[in-house]
Amino acid sequence: MRAPLPVEEVPLEAADGRVLAEALHAGRDYPALARSVRDGFAVRAAETPGRLRVIGEVRAGETFSGALARGEALEIMTGAPVPAGADAIVMLEHTRREGEFVSVPSAASGQNISPQGGDARAGEELIPAGRRLGFPEIALAASEGAARVRVFRKPSVAILSTGDEVVDLAAIPAPFQVRNSNAHALAVQIHRAGGIPQILPIARDEYASTRALIGRGLETDLLLISGGVSAGKYDLVERVLADLGAEFYFDRVLIQPGQPLVFGRVNGKFFFGLPGNPASAMVTFEVFARAAVELLGGQEEAALPLTWARLTADFRHKKGLLRFLPARLSADGAGITPVRWHGSSDLAALARANAFLAADPDRENWNAGELIRVLMR
């Protein structure tokens, strides 16, 4: 799935998290001159070790107009251009100053010098198109004087919760009702993926309401529907989409939570029918829908954020499905502890977790200390 949205130009200070639409190239060498990476003395490596006459100093933001002759050294500060004739920098703490002379140890040519063009050459691609901009990329663009950058438009993503049991946040739910937590969780996930969430009114379990609100959702770039995608009598989402002429790419996946996941296209727009249980909606967004948001926003790649960690306790699950189960990753990212929960609607357990175990479908048992895959949250 790759259909990036139109391009717009934004100020650099507004470009964080946006996807670059045009590659950024170096307007000059980086660094533009060979420069020192340490405070010390610029020397001729061939004359070390030795006792050299200090002929002056150069600071960052200055240049030294002369050149080192035989037997000479120049005091130099970090970031200052290396003077002509010098090919090494000896760190200050390794020297001994005696009036106008300095004693230096042996040095190698190129020591403590960042060469001209060592980071990038003029004309070289610095940031490719399709890269999401973070603070290092913003700094690089600023160094090029890019006060404005061309980025892909952020995709607008509609969120439609369905079901007579779902009520708005301001309502006092009856015992058989739940507040619309899925919509607000999905809005955060969409925002983190680079999209602009748009929460629609709740669709009741009747055909006209569901069809009208799906129609509104299809006015955005991507539609996420929470609930109504199972096989129950009042699960109307697939029926409505079929009546609208939808093409269904799949309507079930072999994961838990989140088996009854629907993905397709209608009227030129992609849609996901996410399960209604909170954990199912969260997991299926991360595993499937996040990539759609990122690719629509122009990102070149959309990799699943999986890593590995060692279990702090024995763990088992029933084979047959890839299961994403709430867990707590240690602060150093080395250890993972399963969080006890009571199924896909247990929001309290999800809030105690900060990651999901990704338990392989063809394995049943893991021992404490073994590596297991982890889906970052």
- The candidate with the shortest Cα–Cα distance to 180, out of 203, 196, 211, 197, is 203
Residue 219, pLDDT score = 97
Over its C-alpha atoms, the chain yields an Rg (Å, rounded) of 30
162 sits in which H/E element: none
Q: What is the mean pLDDT of the chain?
A: 94
Q: Specify the 3-state DSSP secondary structure of 10.
A: strand
Angstrom distance (rounded) from CA 22 to CA 130: 8
Tell me the pTM: 0.87
Whole-number percent of the chain with pLDDT over 90: 92
Q: Are strands 222-226 and 255-256 parallel, antiparallel or unpaired?
A: unpaired
Question: Within a 10 A sphere around the Cβ of 37, how many other Cβ atoms?
Answer: 14
Contacts (Cβ under 8 Å, ≥6 apart) of 15: 133, 138, 141, 149, 151
Whole-number percent of the chain with pLDDT over 70: 98
- The candidate with the shortest Cα–Cα distance to 289, out of 311, 313, 307, 271, is 271
Angstrom distance (rounded) from CA 318 to CA 311: 17
Please report, for residues 99, 191, 333, the alpha-carbon distance to residue 188 in angstroms, rounded to integers and kept in the order given: 64, 5, 23
- 289-329: pLDDT as tens digits: 999 999 999 998 888 989 999 999 999 999 999 999 999 99
Residue 293, pLDDT score = 96
Residue 227, pLDDT score = 87
Q: Which residue do the tokens 């490596």 mark?
A: 45
- 39-70: pLDDT as tens digits: 999 999 999 999 999 999 999 999 999 999 99
Through-space distance between the first and last CA atoms of the chain, rounded to whole angstroms = 23
- 144-161: pLDDT as tens digits: 999 999 999 999 999 999
Q: What is the mean pLDDT of residues 19-23?
A: 96
Angstrom distance (rounded) from CA 86 to CA 190: 54
Q: Specify the 3-state DSSP secondary structure of 215.
A: helix
- The candidate with the shortest Cα–Cα distance to 287, out of 165, 189, 168, is 189
- 183-240: pLDDT as tens digits: 999 999 999 999 999 999 999 989 999 999 999 999 999 999 998 776 555 578 889 9
Q: Specify the 3-state DSSP secondary structure of 89.
A: strand
Whether the Cβ atoms of residue 197 and residue 182 lie closer than 8 Å to each other? no
Q: Is the C-alpha dihedral spanning 283, 289, 290, 291 positive or negative?
A: positive
Q: What is the mean pLDDT of residues 350-374?
A: 96
For the chain, what is the largest distance between any 2 Cα atoms, rounded to a whole number of angstroms?
94
Q: Is the C-alpha dihedral spanning 10, 2, 269, 161 positive or negative?
A: negative
Half-sphere exposure of 142 (CA within 13 A, CB side): 12
171, pLDDT greater than 70: yes
- The candidate with the shortest Cα–Cα distance to 308, out of 334, 283, 339, 337, is 334
Residue 376, pLDDT score = 92
Q: What domains lie within the chain, and their CATH numbers?
A: 7-25+128-152 (3.90.105.10), 35-114 (2.170.190.11), 156-296 (3.40.980.10), 306-376 (2.40.340.10)
